[in-house]
Structure 1
Amino acid sequence: MGDNNVNLPPGFRFYPTDEELVVHFLQRKAALLPCHPDVIPDLELYPYDPWELEGKALSEGNKWYFFSRKTPDRITGNGYWKPMGDEPVFTSSSKRVGMKQSLVYYLGEAPGGTRTNWIMHEYRLSNGTNSGSSSSRSSKRKGYPKIDYSKWVVCRVYEHGDDDNDDNGAELSCLDEVFLSLDDLDEISTPN
């Protein structure tokens, strides 16, 4: 884990579901409520290429987590994030609480960049999900400037194919096993 990360006790892993990222982290951030433990850092993503997230975002295995401001400009130093699609995030009681947008990182300038294996899931709140009106009233009373925290997103970035299954081993297809067994043909004695 990097400098901005909390050292969790041995055996503890940060492996949140989509629902947990939206309900337990993003909703609390948008409502100006504390997160316990406060492990996901704020990060302005777009100056950074995905391989530069180490030490800046919360890392768990090959995944990096961070809060960022929602922005239409997704250009980094060496490329850009291209949106691929949205899907809703539901609670276990089937209430829609947010949206998950999938993005792929491309090296070079848009639209002619080279696709990479870097994937980002950007989670945002559904309309009406955040309790911004009460939090903005309380922030005015305390003398804080009014900030629209509904613009926050929480991101999960990872490199596809980089131990995605978390099974610590690669599963071979039937064809892979056949081709690997062909290497052993010289060890097999054949009748004359």
Structure 2
Amino acid sequence: MLGTALLAGCSEDAAAPSESLPSATSAPTTEALPVVGPADFPVPPAARTQDAAGAETFLRYWIDLLERQQAVPAGQPLRDLGPDCGECQRIARVFDETAASGWRYQGGELTLNDVPAPVMEGETAYVSFGIRQEAVQRVDATGAPVDDGQDVAPNVFGGINLIWSAASQSWVVTGFGYG
């Protein structure tokens, strides 16, 4: 998010600027990061650093995005952030099919239980995690179940593989799964 600053005016008799301070033109500038992810739920800047902290923050964002898109349901943001991730594409397709059928999800909240330090190898990050998934059921417009659903999974192992995209200045998902 971009911030704005409000500057107060100076009176004519204000002291001259200190010669020991750098001029405004000597300060380094950084261009705004391009928006990645849904416009109303973009990948946060903390998840857009090419280091272990950025990779872990991206995982946390990804889990939040999964929950958000399941609630809609809509798969396109998952496709956008995981174009070469087979499981990401499958989840996106199921979300889209659910919406096209007029169905929705009940439950299915995700909570990360454990996230060890990511393994970094060049432009790739491997992040394992433990996750809790609450019971989830797809239902039709009347609230009637349309499939068997899934029971609560209190602590299952998962992982996400990420690659750094210099073009978008963000992580991109190349592999994901849990269960």
Return the structure number with greater relative CO, CA threshold 8 A, min gap 6.
1
| TM-score > 0.5, shorter chain as reference | no
TM-score by length of 2: 0.30
